[in-house]
Chains A and B, each alone.
Chain A
Amino acid sequence: MKEPKRILDVKGLQTTFFTDDGAIPAVDNVDFHIDEGEVLGIVGESGCGKSVTSLSIMGLVPSPPGKITEGEILFQDKDLTKLPERKMRNIRGNDIAMIFQEPMTSLNPLFTIGDQLREAIKIHKRDWSKQQIQDRAVEMMKLVGLPRAEGLMKEYPHQLSGGMRQRVMIAMALLCDPKVLIADEPTTALDVTIQAQILKLIKELNNRLNTAVLLITHDLGVVAETCERVIVMYAGKVVEEGPVNTIFKNPQHPYTRGLLESVPDMRYKKERLYSIPGNVPKPGTIQVGCRFADRCEFSFDRCVQEDPPLYQTADDHKTRCFLFDPKEAAEHDRTAVKS
């Protein structure tokens, strides 16, 4: 099999927010990569750093107070963290595009849909004629399944429903044939029947255009449905990474296991839900040791004394937990699954 081509490589990324309470690393030493044409999911609860990761890639971390303090983001052999804003602007929207959670606030209410689509093309394709721009915009509107594309071009965002607005956002993101599409909670604000339509659209476009998709979400159902590979984040760190089937069938990190257990499944009724005790730690409060140790039922002394590294547990599976250190395996029975 041919080795898939890496399109984006994030190495040791650390994004720190300098606040009155001191420097808080929202994203701490995160490594991952996206291959051409794949759908990679990042899951995690609020405050785990999944959105800051995506903003770091786009160079959109609000600064001050945020800053990428370490690491590199390699895209086509260029380190995005070192690019000047002027060059970054060429990449943003052109090579890497992004769609956001709230489709109402990401469209300008004072301009028509057409104005906003045409503007996005004009910025990146300076030599196109007006007709070319108009045609491209209409073509993309049709591609994302919007009815009466020409008519919609003259309408304003408030005249569209939530699902249609999100389709417009996707059309806008795909105008310049990006290599990577970052979708930050694209369906969270939508109803389930509309969510199903949008997820199907994202998957179809991924197949047809071979655009790699980085899907950020808190919904494990959405991940299972859409992604090929998953990264689970907790308190600014990657805790587990692997193919979607492995993560759901054979989760290793106690946090991943707990998370999967605590989701009510619509297909059957559990007598009682498993719940992870305690709360997500405030960013920056835990300096040493595993971030999950105080909520973990398997934790032992070493967990609070050292930072666990990411252990390679299979060719394509990594887990940040001492239970998977070959040295510890003898003493701690990691297979003891809670009920």
Chain B
Amino acid sequence: MTEPLLKVEGLKKYFPIKAGILGRVKNYVKAVDDISFAVQQGETLGIVGESGCGKSTTGRMLMRLLEPTAGKVFFDGQELTQLSNDEMRKARRDIQMVFQDPYASLNPRHTIEKILMEPLNVHNIGDPKERKKKVHEFLEIVGLSSYHAKRYPHQFSGGQRQRIGIARALMTNPKLIIADEPVSALDVSIQAQVLNLMQDLQQELKLTYIFIAHDLGVVRHISDRVGVMYLGQMAELADSEALYEKPLHPYTQALLSAVPVPDPEFLREEMLVAGDIPSPANPPSGCRFHTRCPFKMAICETTVPIFAEVEKGHSVACHLYEESRPQ
């Protein structure tokens, strides 16, 4: 097996909760608590989970837009968390991000040309003439026209803006693109266009994606492998086919059974989980899902389950599968 493009080990992010006039740290929100995974060159890893599960925080930590509390991130032979700010800036040439809100992630006072030129200026790529050419080239690649370069963001629709966001991420020829909910603000018909564009670009430019989303249908469509997060931890990680056809973790099962399917004759296997997601400031002891889990055992309340492989390429953190693990 080849060396993965990105490898994450024991990544954590604790946000302090401050209280009182002195601002003493009272407690921590454990937004991401010890997750590990790897991404192979050319694949798409989907990360799903409900709000507050830490999926966006994870994405931001990989780029060090948020400083990890602990853990290591290996990218293309470098350990990113040890780099100085200057070195990190250079490393970001190879890791780019596409954001959720195409209305908020483009500066309304800049023309599209200026927005797309920015990454080239920052990384000092090419001379002004080449940069301009490249802007026009990438506008065409994402399905817009070069005459759009002189326009401002408000002159575009949501779908077109997301195309611009993708073009901006591509300007530096990155190896890895982290897309944080790139289609959740878009209408269904536009969402399909953007998903198709992302798949085409991946083939043409040999890109690797980390695709963070809450929509399980979208994630299945685009991902080769999928990780399911719950309250800051990875509950299950497997090939997309295996995860959707044979989910092991009770949370994954519940999540899949809760998604409304666009087919009125489809009879679902009902598995409603009761209650709400507990607060990440005060997560349940043991397995974090035990408060809502229909298969809860005594051990779940006391011991944190280990996240490990049950079958080849299929990892899960659940006490139900402790025995079936290869020793």
Residues of A within 8 A of B (CB): 45-46, 161-164, 191-197, 199-200, 218-226, 244-245, 248-249, 258-260, 262-267, 269-270, 272-277, 279-280
Contact B260 A199 (CB under 8 A): yes
- Cα–Cα, bound, A14→B214 (Å): 36
Cβ contacts under 8 Å, A220 to chain B: 188, 262
Q: How far is the CB of B278 from chain A (nearest CB, A)?
A: 10
Known: A191-B214, A260-B262. A273 touches B159 (CB 8 A): no
Q: How far is the CB of A276 from chain B (nearest CB, A)?
A: 4
Contact B190 A279 (CB under 8 A): yes
Contact A273 B192 (CB under 8 A): yes
- Cα–Cα, bound, A253→B18 (Å): 57
Known: A191-B51, A225-B260. A272 touches B214 (CB 8 A): no
**B29-37, B102-110, B251-259: which lies at the interface:** B251-259
Contact B261 A225 (CB under 8 A): yes
Contact B260 A245 (CB under 8 A): no
**Contacts between the two chains (Cβ within 8 Å), count:** 126
Cβ contacts under 8 Å, B51 to chain A: 191
Judged by a CB distance under 8 angstroms, whether B127 is at the interface is no
Partner of A275, one of B193, B240, B258: B193
Known: A193-B258, A222-B260, A276-B192. A266 touches B273 (CB 8 A): no
**Complex A-B: 24 CB contacts under 8 Å:** A164-B276, A191-B50, A192-B259, A193-B254, A194-B276, A195-B260, A221-B260, A224-B260, A224-B263, A244-B264, A259-B189, A260-B262, A263-B188, A264-B217, A264-B218, A265-B217, A265-B262, A266-B256, A267-B266, A269-B240, A270-B221, A272-B196, A272-B199, A280-B157
Q: How far is the CB of B155 from chain A (nearest CB, A)?
A: 12
Judged by a CB distance under 8 angstroms, whether B149 is at the interface is no
- Cα–Cα, bound, A225→B262 (Å): 8
- Cα–Cα, bound, A244→B215 (Å): 23
Partner of B265, one of A191, A245, A266: A245
Interface residues of B, count at CB 8 A: 43
Cβ contacts under 8 Å, B261 to chain A: 221, 224-225, 265-267
Q: How far is the CB of B249 from chain A (nearest CB, A)?
A: 13
Partner of B195, one of A218, A269, A273: A273
Cβ contacts under 8 Å, B276 to chain A: 161-164, 194
Q: How far is the CB of B140 from chain A (nearest CB, A)?
A: 17
Q: How far is the CB of B203 from chain A (nearest CB, A)?
A: 11
Judged by a CB distance under 8 angstroms, whether B201 is at the interface is no
Q: How far is the CB of B151 from chain A (nearest CB, A)?
A: 15
- Cα–Cα, bound, A272→B222 (Å): 9
Contact B189 A248 (CB under 8 A): no
Cβ contacts under 8 Å, B88 to chain A: none
Among residues of A, the one whose C-beta sits closest to the C-beta of B50 is A191
- Cα–Cα, bound, A183→B192 (Å): 27
Partner of B220, one of A222, A266, A277: A266
Cβ contacts under 8 Å, B258 to chain A: 192-193, 195-196
- Cα–Cα, bound, A196→B292 (Å): 15
Judged by a CB distance under 8 angstroms, whether B141 is at the interface is no
- Cα–Cα, bound, A263→B183 (Å): 12
Judged by a CB distance under 8 angstroms, whether B244 is at the interface is yes
Judged by a CB distance under 8 angstroms, whether B187 is at the interface is yes
Judged by a CB distance under 8 angstroms, whether B320 is at the interface is no
Cβ contacts under 8 Å, B277 to chain A: 161, 191
Q: How far is the CB of A130 from chain B (nearest CB, A)?
A: 32
Cβ contacts under 8 Å, B196 to chain A: 272-273, 275
- Cα–Cα, bound, A275→B159 (Å): 12
- Cα–Cα, bound, A224→B268 (Å): 12
Among residues of A, the one whose C-beta sits closest to the C-beta of B279 is A161
Judged by a CB distance under 8 angstroms, whether B5 is at the interface is no
Contact B273 A193 (CB under 8 A): yes
Going nearest first, the 8 A-B pairs with the smallest beta carbon separation are A221-B260, A262-B192, A275-B192, A191-B50, A196-B258, A264-B221, A45-B187, A264-B217
